[in-house]
Structure 1
Amino acid sequence: MEVFEVVIALLLGGAALAAVARRIGAPYPALVALAGAALALIPGVPTLVLDPELALALFVAPVLVDAAFDASPRDLRTNWRAVTSLALGAVVLTVAVVAVVARLLVPGMPWAAAVALGAIVAPPDAAAATTVLKALRPPHRLLVILEGESLFNDASALLIYRLAVGAMLTGTLSGWTVVPMLLIVTVGSVVLALVLSRLTLAVSARITDVSTAVVVQFCSTFGVWILAEQLHLSGIITLVVYAMAASRRAAEVVPARIRIPAWAVWEVAVFVLNVLAFILVGFQLRSISERVTGAAGARYALVTAAVCAAVIVARMAWVTGAAAFSRWRCRPHPDGTPGPRDPVALSAGAAAVVGWCGMRGTVTLAAALALPTGAHGGAEFPYRDLIIVTAFGVVLGTLVLQGLTLRPLMLRLGLEDDGSVGHEVRLARVETLRAALAAAEACPEAETAALVRHRYALQLSRAEAAVSIPAGPVDHDGQDADEAVVRAATRAERRRLVALRADGTIGDAAFQRVEEELDWAELDWARVVQAGAREEE
């Protein structure tokens, strides 16, 4: 019960810290990381060691699926150079720099263990950065690059991690077998993902119960990971391709009444997993701090600080260097003719932001926790305590240093939204409403047909006014009046419903059903009257 009580208390604390983070405009993982560090200093904190085989599946699989499901293949194709550069070049450079730094400071550390440390701290977590960036409305390209990088750098870093851990435990790694193995693993993972996505969608199309659908979604996520691992494929690549493939047809298969609550459940689950990762590291840091004191503790602190500085410098050097090279390649020719055009080349300011968005997070913690513990008769991974402390120190250092200064940096550089997504949203509204109005007009007359057609015609006229440049400014007074009508009507309905329950006219069962209907109706009408205003703010 002691561990359970601590976990429950810290989950509540994590929720409170997330609220504080939203208020001050900081990424919530930064504050949760501080809480995890404080946990290691509290006397009497229990020791809890997670099964290494469970760590990656539990913490990485749902986070990856949640991110990959929202990824845009079109935008990734447009920005493939920048995404590939970060997912491969920046990761390899970081692994190499960290491995060299670790070997210089700890000469006794085997190269395989040093490379494993580099792979653990190499992949940044885009969620922390985009939490801040989305509130500041930066150019959409920056979000695409960071989110795309986060998907694929996990795959590249954890692939290096698996090779290094395997080499450390077996003592052998043949370069002639690595390349063919990587090709087989990559192709096999993609094929498996495509097959499983079709199978999962076929099953989901037959589920109408919300609870069952959400449970199947989570079980499918872990099932895909487990099957890929059992087949000795890459769970990371399989899950990324699986989620991206499933998302293309999910809108046609999954109804809205399942999709809306499922989104909420996934958001909560990812938040809980992030908090739990910091809690588990805090548990382990407590036991490590009891074993490491004096000179050993000072060496741990030195290695942690040096590796944290190395990952920050390596990323900044790669991003700014790659962006500068891209701009140099696109420079005008000596005769004045334009150079090659690169529409997605990063400016110096954009490169500085992308380089500074190097906060580490859940994947780094999960990879550190997944190192072999020596239980069940196996060998403990060399320098495991040092690697866990260093990994958490890098996560804490990058989240606090970069996470808390990202907002001032963005405001200083003045990077603003280019409006591309807003324009596409307005265009999509017009086209979908035209299709809806045409379908409504083709239906036979019914008692509510005129009301339905009038509603779609009203939405269409507003959407056309928003998307048409010559149409002039939006009538905010009219929108405010419509919103006031909706609020007044909804309040009246709710007051009357509460009164009916209070005087005993209806029971709680009827109250809850009508209240749910009013909730959906309020959301629906509020979306109608606020859609145009939200895009113009």
Structure 2
Amino acid sequence: MLAMVAAIVLLNMWATKLKVAYPILLVVAGLLVSFVPGLPVLKINPDLIFLIFLPPLLFEAAWSVSFKEMRKWWRIIGSFAFLVVFFTAFSVAITTTYLIPGFTIALGFLLGGIVSPPDAVSTGAIMKFVKIPKSTVAILEGESLLNDASSLIIFRFALAAVATGHFVWQQAATSFLWMVAGGAGIGLALAWAFVQAHRRLPTDAPSDIALTLIEPYVMYWVAEELHSSGVLAVVAGGLFMSARRLSFLSSTSRIMGYSVWESFVFILNGVVFLIIGLDLPEIVEGLRLEGVPLRTAIGYGVLVTLVLILARMISSYAAMIATLIFRPSVAPRARSNRARFKMPLLLGWTGMRGVVSLAAALSIPVALDNGAAFPQRNLILFITFVAILLTLVVQGLTLPAFIKRGKLFEAFTEDSEQEAMQKIKRGLRQQIYHFLQHRKNDGLHEEMAVRKILQHWEEKAKSSDDEWMNDQTKAILLEMLECQRTYLAELNKDISVNEDYIRRQLYQIDLEEERLRMI
């Protein structure tokens, strides 16, 4: 495990130097690791895969995504997160049932549920190297958060159908409603309880962070024990807590928690990619014992990958056409129809598969309840690995060049990041000025402190001496920072203001508060 973490860190540094997304190098490294002779065979309990990896990955994604932006683009996000996932799973199921010997429709849907959700981490890592509209980023982030839930629901139903040998639509419909409604309800209820615990208990930053590490596991476990969707519980609970982070976490907890969670999720992602590499020799050996030639299995993997890409491309254009017909007012703004119809090319080409697909494939039980070997398990695992490898390497390496050379977004009209940030900062400066003027008029006993702060802000560029700071001045400055947070919270209600810019400014305010507390 220590060697795996060291390898993940080194590969990430190498990826940064090469200016490629680190998941690409991780999945290639996982493949190369499988060829190292003498490595021990890795045995992992399939029942623990979801419990170990999924809750923190989904929880962190829910905290990172903007719920306001999700509401703004909910139509296209909903269509990609549910309709496109179902269409992709159906396409994979039909293709594999007819073209792969021994595959049933249930096994086809099982594989479709595994490989249908694109990976948020891979897409986000690749987007660091290109500039794309914030609206597109919001759509991709919102989709990646919800499509995991929809795909894993398909996976669970298909897994039950394979295990039992039959599928009852009435029972499935009732179970589906409980999984969705129960999962979301359980997640919201537990999230509310956790928020109250943070508020009422005398926690400090380390204990706050420790609680946030426990919370997604509790949400997932309770929901699964009640036979609802643990994935939806974590997503709903994470979104609820994320929207209230300012009310129950201190600035210290927010700053420290951001770093802890970023490192924790980074390691989890890397470990999953390397695990499949360590497990690959056993998968290939299983294919050999089942009489499936390696070349044939690779061909099946390429076939499924092509189906995934085509299904997403078709779905992207269908979603754009439907939006222009039924809700043209919410379609992305562009200077020409030709430029607007280039956007589905990007959405269609961002379907890199990753950690969730790997975790789902690895969670397939080795044997059925009756003791018989799970049918086609090794082939499903191998096809999943090929699909992840091809989508990450082919699409991941070509996407930045595709955007830059194709000048895909030059025709889209959107406020620049610099202009948006300047607008927010101008509003903050006005808020600070009115706050200080108000405090100055409150009473003469504070006039000297306020005058010092005004002078500090007027000559901040020249000032380097903090000797003027005293308890009264510090108290006013801390109150001023809280006033800025209130202003940003109100500004965030404006749907035209991107929440990512608001969060960046809030992070700067948290850092300033920590600096003041250290004086």
**2:302 corresponds to 1:308:** no
Matched residue, 2:249: 254
Q: Please name the residue that 1:319 is paired with.
A: 316
Change (3 A) 1:426 1:182: farther
> Is 2:51–2:217's contact at 8 Å kept on the other side of the alignment?
yes
Q: Does 1:40 align with 2:34?
A: yes
Give the superposition deviation at 1:432: 4.0
Distance in 1 (alpha carbons) for counterparts of 2:51 and 2:429: 42
Q: CA 1:428–1:300 in structure 2 vs 1: closer, same or farther (change >3 Å)?
A: same
User: What is the deviation of 1:296?
Assistant: 2.4
- Asked if 1:407 is matched to 2:395, the reply is no
| 1:437 Cα deviation from its structure 2 partner | 4.1
- Which residue of structure 1 lines up, in the alignment, with residue 79 of structure 2? 85
Sequence identity (%) = 29
The equivalent residue for 2:343 is 350
User: Cα deviations across residues 245-273 of structure 1 (Å, max 9, x unaligned)?
Assistant: 11111112101111111101111111101
Q: Once structures 1 and 2 are overlaid, which stretch shifts more, 53-62 or 153-162? A: 53-62
Q: Which amino acid aligns with 1:363?
A: V
SS of match in other structure, 1:404: helix
Which residue matches 2:329? 341
Match 2:45 to one of 40, 46, 51:
51
Structure 1 position 385 matched with structure 2 position 378: yes
Per-residue deviation, residues 108-147 of structure 1 (Å, max 9, x unmatched):
1222112101110000012212222244221111101101
Match of 1:210 in 2: 205
Distance across 1 between alignment mates of 2:459 and 2:38: 64
Change (3 A) 1:86 1:139: same
**Does the C-alpha gap of structure 1 residues 345 and 52 become closer, same or farther in structure 2, counting only changes over 3 Å?**
farther
Gaps of 5+ in 2: 335-339, 467-507
Map 1:120-159; keep pairs closer than 5 Å: 120-159=114-153
What CA distance in whole angstroms lies between the structure 2 residues aligned with 1:454 and 1:380?
77
Q: Is the alpha carbon distance of 1:340 and 1:351 closer, same or farther for their aligned partners in structure 2, counting shifts above 3 Å?
A: closer
In structure 1, what is the equivalent of residue 17 of structure 2? Answer: 23
Q: In structure 2, what is the Cα distance between the partners aligned to 1:290 and 1:60?
A: 28
**Cα distance in 2 between the residues matched to 1:345 and 1:166:** 44
Q: 1:447 to 1:9 in 2, by over 3 A?
A: farther
| Equivalent of residue 182 in structure 2, options 148, 173, 188 | 188
- Note if 1:12 corresponds to 2:6: yes
Change (3 A) 1:74 1:409: same
Amino acid at match of 1:419: D
Give the residue type in structure 1 aligned to 2:309.
I
1:174-323 alignment runs, 5 A limit: 174-205=168-199, 206-293=201-288, 296-323=293-320
Paired AA for residue 452 in structure 1: I
Question: Could you give the per-residue CA deviations for residues 487-526 of structure 1, whole angstroms, max 9, x where no partner exists?
Answer: x999xxxxxxxxxxxxxxxxxxxxxxxxxxxxx999649x
**CA contact 2:80–2:143 (8 Å) conserved in 1:** yes
* Partner AA of 1:292 in structure 2: L
Tell me the CA shift for residue 177 of structure 1: 2.0
- Specify the code of the residue in structure 2 equivalent to 1:341: S
2:203 counterpart SS class: coil
Q: Separation in 1 of the partners of 2:509 and 2:85?
A: 48
Q: Determine helix, strand or coil for the equivalent of 1:418.
A: coil
Q: Gaps spanning 5+ residues in structure 1: where? A: 1-6, 331-338, 460-481, 491-519, 528-537
What whole-Å deviation, never above 9, does each CA across 1:40-79 have from its counterpart, x for those lacking one?
1111121112222211122221111111112222221221
Cα distance in 2 for partners of 1:406, 1:239 equals 30
Match of 1:361 among 349, 354, 367: 354
Aligned pairs, number: 459
Q: Is the 8 A contact 1:140 1:420 kept in 2?
A: no
Displacement of 1:207 in angstroms is 4.5
SS in 1 for 2:244: helix
> Which of 412, 415, 419 is the equivalent residue of 1:419?
415
Q: 1:146 to 1:207 in 2, by over 3 A?
A: farther
2:287–2:379: 8 Å Cα contact kept in structure 1? Answer: no
- CA–CA separation in structure 2 for the residues paired with 1:190 and 1:153: 15
Task: Tell me, in whole angstroms, the C-alpha distance in 2 between the residues paired with 1:375 and 1:183.
Answer: 26
Distance 1:452 1:228 in 2: 52
User: Quick one: which amino acid aligns to residue 285 of structure 1?
Assistant: L
CA RMSD of aligned residues (A): 3.0
1 CA distance for matches of 2:70 and 2:383?
A: 32
Deviation, structure 1 residue 438: 3.9
User: Normalising to structure 2: TM-score of the pair?
Assistant: 0.81
Match of 1:462 in 2: none
Q: Report the Cα offset of residue 366 of structure 1.
A: 0.3
1 CA distance for matches of 2:368 and 2:264?
29
* 1:452 aligned residue: 453
The amino acid of 1:212's aligned partner reads: S
| Secondary structure of residue in 2 paired with 1:232 | coil
CA contact (8 A) 2:114 2:384 kept: yes
Deviation at 1:198, TM superposition (A): 1.3
TM superposition shift of 1:399: 0.3
* Distance apart, 1:457 and its partner CA: 5.9
Counterparts in 2 of 1:164-175, with a 5 A limit?
164-175=158-169
Structure 2 CA distance for partners of 1:200 and 1:433, relative to 1, 3 Å: farther
Q: Distance in 2 between matches of 1:456 and 1:193?
A: 45
With normalisation by structure 1, the TM-score equals 0.79
Partners of 1:324 and 1:139 in 2: how far apart?
A: 20
Q: Deviations over 1:282-312 (max 9, x none)?
A: 1211222334348522221111111111111
Contact in 2 for aligned 1:436/1:456 (Cα 8 Å):
no
